[in-house]
Amino acid sequence: MLKFVVKKILFIIPVLWIVASVTFFLIRVVPGGPFDSQRNLPKAIVANLKAKYKLDKPIWEQYFFYLKRLSHLDLGISYKYTNRTVNEILVQAFPVSAVLGIGALSLAVTLGVLIGVISAVNQGKFIDFALMTLATAGISVPTFVFGILLMYVFGLKLQILPIGLWESPYHAILPIITLSLAPLANIARLSRSSVLDNLTKDHVLVARSFGISESRILIIHVLRNSLIPILTILGPMTAMLLTGSFVVEYIFAIPGMGRFFITAVSNRDYDLVIGTTLVFAVVLLLSNTIIDILYRIVDKRILRQT
């Protein structure tokens, strides 16, 4: 087990290096530079700016300079938010996105599993049909459409919740609900089929023949095994949440990582783009590692194999 954890964590470092390099070269291949949008800038000033940020050097030199700095966990300087380092910006933006993501994930898992279990227990009945139709609809709504729908109904028509910005806990409600919709629907569909699978297993039949109550069978004998497939999709789910957070932060004007990333890309703010990408990659890699470990704890069968 320990060997496995160490191996997984050691795997993260080369991956991060590859991610940083790919992003570094990709963003530099893109036409347009960081100072192109400021029109009529005298050539001498542009040259000075480039020299200040070491953009006048050959690309290989820039690359090794970036890697050297990165090894000290220094992500560089933003070109647009003058005098702010990328680290400063990310330290501010990350907690916002984290609250959003963790909120949405917990909502999606609790409600999703609940809906899936209710559906599975009532298989074939109307409530199952209704819930699963809703879940299929849930994975078919684009995040931005759902977000705007919520804004329109709760913000503009009923006027009970704020429709943007990030100031009080109330501001988090609509974004979190928006962000959680797609993962929630996915988890509901998956947990339904997973519970159904487990309900027909032999050990459930045995438990039933012993006269154990249905609710006890469901909670103790079925649910635990059904959680394994749900754990496996939590990895892709985290990726989905990260992708969703771009859109949600864009619609609700939330100063999180996704919003900074989008503006950084259109501004060609090289260091900020790579910095944000790296943080996203770290989050995704770490969550995948944690899920892998949890997976082994919940399902003892895998542990025995390795």
Partner 1 sequence: MNSILQSMLIKRITNTLGCKIALVILFFITIVSVLSWLNISLTPFNYDSTSDMILAGPSLIHPFGTDNLGRDLLSRVIYGSRLSLLIGYTVAVMAGVIGSVYGAIAGYFEGIFDTVLMAIIDVIYCLPDLLVMLLLGLVLGKGSLGILISLSLITWMGVARIVRANFIQLKNEDFVTMAKALGANDFYIMFRHIFPNSLSSLLVSLFITIPQAILAESTLSFIGLGLQAPQCSWGTLASDGLSCLRTHPNLLFFPAFCIFITVLSLNIFGDNLRDALDPKIKI
Instruction: Enumerate residues 6+ apart whose C-beta is below 8 A from 128.
Output: 118, 119, 120, 122, 192
Sign of CA dihedral 123, 128, 129, 135: negative
Residue 31 vs 42, nearer CB to partner 1: 31
3-state helix, strand, coil in the chain (%, to 5): 80, 0, 20
**Would you say 288 and 238 are in contact if contact means Cβ atoms under 8 Å apart?**
yes
CB of 106 to partner 1, least distance (A): 20
Residue from 111, 114, 173, 239 that binds partner 1 (CB under 8 A)? 239
Number of neighbours of residue 38 by Cβ within 10 angstroms? 10
Nearest in space to 70 (alpha carbons), one of 126, 20, 125 = 20
CB of 242 to partner 1, least distance (A): 4
Instruction: Enumerate residues 6+ apart whose C-beta is below 8 A from 130.
Output: none
> Each residue of 40-54: b (16+ CB within 10 Å) or e?
eeeeeebeebeeebe
In the range 160-189, which residues lie near partner 1 by CB under 8 A?
Answer: 186, 189
Residue 139 vs 173, nearer CB to partner 1: 139
**Would you say 230 and 194 are in contact if contact means Cβ atoms under 8 Å apart?**
yes
CB of 269 to partner 1, least distance (A): 13
- Binding residues for partner 1, how many (CB under 8 A)? 44
CB of 15 to partner 1, least distance (A): 6
Task: Report if residue 248 touches partner 1, rule: CB under 8 A.
Answer: no
Coil vs helix vs strand at 269: coil
Task: Report if residue 145 touches partner 1, rule: CB under 8 A.
Answer: yes
CB of 246 to partner 1, least distance (A): 5
Torsion angle defined by CA atoms of residues 153, 157, 159 and 162, in that order, rounded to the nearest 10 degrees: 50
CB of 263 to partner 1, least distance (A): 11
* Interaction pattern, residues 277-306, with partner 1; x per rule: CB under 8 A: x--xx--xx--x------------------
Choose one: 38-46, 98-106, 116-124, 242-250; the region binding partner 1 (CB under 8 A): 242-250
* Interaction pattern, residues 205-224, with partner 1; x per rule: CB under 8 A: --------------------
Residue from 141, 231, 290, 294 that binds partner 1 (CB under 8 A)? 141
Task: Report if residue 144 touches partner 1, rule: CB under 8 A.
Answer: yes
In the range 12-31, which residues lie near partner 1 by CB under 8 A?
Answer: 15, 18-19, 23, 26-27, 29-30
**Would you say 147 and 174 are in contact if contact means Cβ atoms under 8 Å apart?**
yes
10 Å CB burial of residue 89 (0-12, 13-18, 19+) is: buried
Report residue 18 CA to chain centroid gap. Answer: 20
CB of 45 to partner 1, least distance (A): 26
**Would you say 199 and 222 are in contact if contact means Cβ atoms under 8 Å apart?**
yes
Alpha carbons 190 and 138: distance in angstroms, whole number: 13
Residue 14 vs 42, nearer CB to partner 1: 14
Contacting residues toward partner 1, per CB under 8 A: 15, 18-19, 23, 26-27, 29-30, 133, 136-137, 139-145, 148, 151-152, 156, 186, 189-190, 193-194, 229, 239, 242-243, 246-247, 250, 261-262, 265-266, 277, 280-281, 284-285, 288
